[in-house]
Every structure is written in structure tokens, then in C-alpha cells.
Structure 1
């Protein structure tokens, strides 16, 4: 496949943005940090189907039905049939795992359990509709998530062109959001992974290819050096076995893609040890993409009430707000109402949420409180009205009425 022209990229981007406007998918961090090998198409189909999946309460399984016409829009397929693409994802092929072959190993820190499972139990493509059903064992990591999960942008994810970019997008976004939630501070954030652990997370070393590797990973503290040696015996890392190739084809490619096209930015450095300075781990520096930060600074100087926000821009804003209020249960429509109240000024929302986090009284209507705090410039000393919330002062109007009025406009 040749290099895409600028016009092709613009057409695909426009189609994706219009179709995926404001769509996100959620994954438990346990699942994001699992180890397994799959193709880029399988990962993208997984992300899209998660966003579309519905829970069958009878058997506690998630099932998604996606029209082929929608899939063509998502993956930028121009004309023809999407059948061959789906066929390559579903049918097994030598040295290329299908969607049904996708097995992962994950650990649950709460239950102190480690398990290896097939992610998808059934997949079919009939009458132009892709049907996917997930293993019921991972339902808790995809449905009704309350904590320890990450919200990811579907539009950003499906535009990535490397499976390593895709996996690093999920892994680093999850880590950035977690550290931000814990520290309540702005980045940059740092995380270090053992080189072999990272190769397993990216699927470069197949966690399911060798019984000895499977056995080693099921231990609480895996011997990654032993796993690396075992993988070397079977050439398990392929052309990315050497650090030079791993750097060139995985890390550098992912860095370029993520830094140019997503809301996160990262840099990295190899950590060496022992005689000869062998690379043993990778240290990542992660932050909100400067393009997003600069865009916010520019928008803060504009009167956004009179400015039309594109679907892609609104998606970015919603993603940022979700990161700020990650501990709250809010709907996309509620996030939009908060953004509209703040004239799409994310700094106002961050300041309001900081006040909300430090107050002592319980708030029954979080969205209404945030809208009121933003519109009335709540501060530590409050404003001229009746004091009813913690250390702050709050007006006497109805939050529910205000929220309804804003939501009615969407």
C-alpha cells in the first residue's frame, strides 16, 4: 500500500470526525495493561465494538452489531466491499492472529488473581453486519465501570496506523490519567517499564506462544529476563528482537503518530544497566499534547460564545473534561452542558472542580453545581448570595432547571 495523499488523509479525517464525533470507549486499566498479541485491525474493531456493545443480562455477555457501511467510514475504505477486511480479521492465518485467536493474560490486583482467556468467543459477518460477542469473564472490565478505568477517544484511536501506536496510546493515556487523578497536578508524568514487559504489552513477544512463557507470566513477579531468553529461542520477537529495530519500528513510529495526531504527547529514554550498557527498561515522559494546550490558550482569549466549535474540537474538549472529572459519573450530554456553561474554557472547569473537590458538604446535583460555579465565578470567599455549600456561597436558583435548559439545547 502506497503512501496516502494529503487529499486522501483529509477526506478520511473528515469522514471519521463526522461519524465518530464525541464517541469514546472505556476500558478497565486491568484490560489495557494486559499482555497479548493481535493485529491493528483487531484492536480497532475491538475499540469500535466496545463503544457499540450492549449487555445481555441473561448471560452477562457483551455483544455488538456494527454495520459494514459504518465500518467503511471508520476505516476510510473507499468503495468496494469491506468483506475482505473483515475476513482477514476473522479467519485464522499463519503467523497472523485472528480476532478469535486473541488471547490475553491479565492480573487483577484486587482479587490477586492472574488469568489467561480468549477475549472474543464469537464473531460473524452476515448481511453486511459484523456481530461480535465477548467472553463473559471480561464483562466487568468493559461494562458498568465505576473506577480504575480510562476513557479513550475513538476518533483518535482508529486513525492510528500501527498496532504499537494503538497499544501505546491506550497504555500511556491510562497511566497519565491515573497519575493526574492521584496527584491532582498537571504533568508531565513519568513511568518506567521493563523492556520485556513492554514488548509483551505491545504484543511483540507473544504471551501465549510458549508454555514456559505462559507459566512465568502467571507468577506474581515474573522473571522477565527468563521470558526474554525463552522468546529468543523461538525468535518470538521477530525483527523487533534487537533494541535498534524495536526503537525504530515501534517506539519512534508510535511517538511520531501520537505526538502529531492525539491529545497525548510522550518522550522516552532507554535505561541501561550491567556490563556493556544493555537496555533493560524504557522510561516514558507523558503529558497533554502541547498542541491541545496551545489551542486552549488561544481559545481562552476568544469569545467562544460567538465561535462555532467543530465536532473534532468538541471531542478534544470533552476528553479533557472527562480527565478532570474522572471520579464523577457523568453522561456525554452533561459534559457538553458543562462545556457550554464555561464557553469551552477548560481552565474554568478545572478551577470549578478544584473547588468542588475541596468542599465538605455533599452535593446532590454535581452537574448543576458545576454549571453554577462556572457561571457565577465561585471562589473561596464566594459571591453575594445565600451560603449553602460548604465553604462556598451558592445562588438560590434551581440547578436542575439550569441543567435541563442547557441540555435541551443539544
Structure 2
């Protein structure tokens, strides 16, 4: 056996550090937004930074390894004792309970679900690392999300100085895309904000300390702002408010960085191409349609296939859904040439990078095949050794393709497809075998972050 042949390294998730960027997206079911949460501002910053690592089409909760100093910097802990502060906050989170309630027609709770936020935290002393996993029970509110969920960029909330402002942002952000308003009874608002019964008992104080402060903070720091007025009174007592939610165009444009746009484009294009849409069509969609428009129509098409089971040509149905806006998305580039040009340039740049990456990966596979073929020529007179090399060649090529696709997913590139092997027919049988091998090919079924 030729010991000079390369052996692809097998990496595990635990070998890699997770990195959290402020432009990452928080995706959560609306039921989670409308739950009762008892978190301090620091705890909230930590837990939602972790949630930004979870992708809505993940199938299960994952374990993340983080640099404590990076997490501390992200959430605004700057003291010399930041290790202890972060560990103490995570300890407190492990004892905090999230309460999700289901109500009957009369508003009485009929199901009360109590969930811990963090399932496990392991500290690697001396290395400044924490291995952390969110509770598996949170999966129903964070993964495999197709409908009834809300997303926002992490930087919108990390800058807020009040947990009440944060919760007001989420409660109103849920209604931003379509309804743009929300009617809340005072009692419901107090429940969602977890205000104790003996605190801010007078509505005028509630308005001053909570609503007006949130109104000011959201207008200054986030992508939405709101106005509000009394909706209903019972006698002289205010029973409910109506909140009107608006897109904060000035902040959206100010905070829309190239990194954030690249992140969106990589996620959307890679996701589209996973369903058989060509690169050229996917790029034309990014230039014509807002990424949220694409996501909503893609979710609609996938949801229809899942529910009806009668859509034979999913990519064709996706094309029609995108063209006719079956999802009824309100997102567009209209009246915003700046945003349109940013996404258009990012799409072109991404496709160029995908092409270069694909050429590099194909060359790696070709090189490995060539080295095995040369080794087999040298042992052509030994039938048993030749058979053994043939089996090893197949195994190592499949392993390399798996490693390559896992790396592509990790870095936001679409997995290799049949079209990428055009002109390289000698490699295609190994790609076909990779697709059929149950212990390999896991990367192909994964979605990239978005």
C-alpha cells in the first residue's frame, strides 16, 4: 500500500470556534416572541447572540464553542473580570425559565410550557472557551421554521439599553412586514414585558418608563420606529393601546454594511441553488427581487410542496412562485436604488467567488484521482493490490467530496452539483457514489446560515 497517498482530515463541530457577527440574523417563532421572559439585559444579549447562530432550517439544536472574551465584547462586558461576569450570566440563564402559554377563546391559559434556556455549559479553563448548548426544548421555536416566525439583525437589539425596549422591539417587529400595527391591552403588555404586579401600577408611569423610552430608543437605534395612541378606555382607565409600526429607512441604510449584504446574498443564492435553480437565474433574481421577497416566496413554494405533496417539479414551481409573488411579499427595491445596487454587486461578486471555489475543489478531486491512478499503474501486475487500491481510491474520493462540501457549506458556498462536473466525466461516478452513501453526503442536506 502506498503510504504517500493523502488522507483527508475529518473535522468535527467541536473542533471549530463559532463566531458571532452583529449582522447575523435572529430567527424565532412568533410564539417565542409572545412568551413571558425573565431576563436581564446582559442575559438577553448573551442568549440572543447564541440564537443568532441557529438557522431556521436546522433540524436540531447544536453545540457551539465560543471564545469568552469575544462573547463578552459582543454583549458589552468590558470589565477586567469579564470571564467571571460571562460565566455568572450563563449560570443564571441555566436557572431561568421561559414560559410559553396557549390560551383559550376567553384568554385563559390552557397549556403552560416552561423551558430552560441553556441545556449545558462546559468551561475550558485556561483556554478561555465555553462549550454551550441551548435547550433542546427550544428547538420547536428556533429550528425548521417555515411560517409564523420573525427575523431581525442582531445589531438592532445589542445597542438597546433597556430590556423593555428590546421586548417592545420584538413585539412590534413581528407585525412590521404585513399588519404594521398591533393592539395590546395594558394587561397583555405587562405580561409580555414581565412587569411585576406591584411595579409601574399607574398607566402614566408605564407610558413614561417603558413606552416612551422604547419609542425614543427604537427610533434612534433600530430598523423600525413606532407611534401609538389609546385604543380603548374602560371608564377613565386605559384598557389598550394601538401601536403603528414603520420601517426606519434612515437607520436601515446607515447600518446596511457590505458584510451584511454579502451575508444575505450568500445565504439566499446558496439556498435557491440547492433547489435546482441555476446560478444565472438565481443571480438575476437577486438583482430583481429583494432577498426577503425571495425567501418568503421560496418558503411558500416549499410549504406548498410539503402540505400538498403533489408538486412534481419543485424548481419549476419555485420559478412560478417567484415570478408571480404567490407569497404576497411586500419587500422590494422600489425607490431604493442604493440597496438594489449593493445587492446586485454582491450577487455578481459571489457568483465569481463560487466559480473560483468550484474550480479549486474540482482540481483537488482530480489531483487525488490522478495520484491513485498513478499508484495503480505501478502495481498493475499485482491483482490483489490493484483491487485494494481501487477500493481505497473510491473510499478516499467519496471522503474528499464530503469534506469539500462540508467546507463549502461552512463558508457559505453551495455544495457541488452534477453540473459542476461537466467536462470531468471521470469524476462523476465518484460524486454519484457520494450522493448514494448514507454515511456521507450530510453536507448536501444542510442549509447555510441566513
**TM-score, scaled relative to structure 1:** 0.57
1:170 corresponds in structure 2 to: 170
Shift of 1:145: 1.5
* SS of residue in 1 equivalent to 2:39: coil
C-alpha distance in structure 1 between counterparts of 2:315 and 2:103, whole Å: 32
1:278 lines up with 2:237 in the alignment: yes
1:152 lines up with 2:103 in the alignment: no
C-alpha distance in structure 1 between counterparts of 2:296 and 2:206, whole Å: 41
Q: Is the alpha carbon distance of 1:168 and 1:153 closer, same or farther for their aligned partners in structure 2, counting shifts above 3 Å?
A: same
C-alpha distance in structure 2 between counterparts of 1:346 and 1:292, whole Å: 21
Deviations 1:188-209 (A, max 9, x none): x21101111111111213xxxx
C-alpha distance in structure 2 between counterparts of 1:122 and 1:281, whole Å: 40
Shift of 1:289: 1.1
Q: Is the alpha carbon distance of 1:107 and 1:84 closer, same or farther for their aligned partners in structure 2, counting shifts above 3 Å?
A: same
1:310 corresponds, among 257, 261, 273, to: 257
> 1:358-397 residue pairs with structure 2 within 5 A?
364=315
Asked whether the 8 Å contact 1:268–1:285 carries over to 2, the reply is yes
- In structure 2, runs of 5+ residues without a counterpart are 1-18, 105-109, 302-310, 325-347, 357-412, 414-450
1:106 corresponds in structure 2 to: 101
Q: Is the alpha carbon distance of 1:368 and 1:245 closer, same or farther for their aligned partners in structure 2, counting shifts above 3 Å?
A: same
1:67 corresponds in structure 2 to: 67
1:254 lines up with 2:214 in the alignment: yes
C-alpha distance in structure 1 between counterparts of 2:295 and 2:91, whole Å: 51
2:139 corresponds in structure 1 to: 139
Asked whether the 8 Å contact 2:36–2:100 carries over to 1, the reply is yes
* Larger-Rg structure: 2
The number of equivalent residue pairs is 294
Q: Which structure's residues are more often helix, by fraction?
A: 2
1:118 corresponds in structure 2 to: 116
1:194 corresponds in structure 2 to: 185
2:249 corresponds, among 290, 294, 300, to: 290
* SS of residue in 1 equivalent to 2:315: coil
1:89 corresponds in structure 2 to: 89
C-alpha distance in structure 2 between counterparts of 1:26 and 1:168, whole Å: 16
**TM-score, scaled relative to structure 2:** 0.52
Shift of 1:29: 1.0
Shift of 1:114: 3.9
C-alpha distance in structure 1 between counterparts of 2:68 and 2:85, whole Å: 10
Shift of 1:79: 6.5
Deviations 1:127-152 (A, max 9, x none): 32234333322212111212211122
C-alpha distance in structure 1 between counterparts of 2:222 and 2:249, whole Å: 10
C-alpha distance in structure 1 between counterparts of 2:296 and 2:99, whole Å: 37
C-alpha distance in structure 2 between counterparts of 1:67 and 1:340, whole Å: 36
Deviations 1:43-77 (A, max 9, x none): 1111111223599x99x554333221221331244
C-alpha distance in structure 2 between counterparts of 1:346 and 1:73, whole Å: 36
> 1:27-38 residue pairs with structure 2 within 5 A?
27-38=28-39
* SS of residue in 2 equivalent to 1:35: coil
Asked whether the 8 Å contact 2:23–2:260 carries over to 1, the reply is no
Shift of 1:123: 3.6
- In structure 1, runs of 5+ residues without a counterpart are 1-17, 93-97, 181-188, 206-230, 297-308, 374-400
Asked whether the 8 Å contact 1:41–1:89 carries over to 2, the reply is yes
Shift of 1:369: 8.5
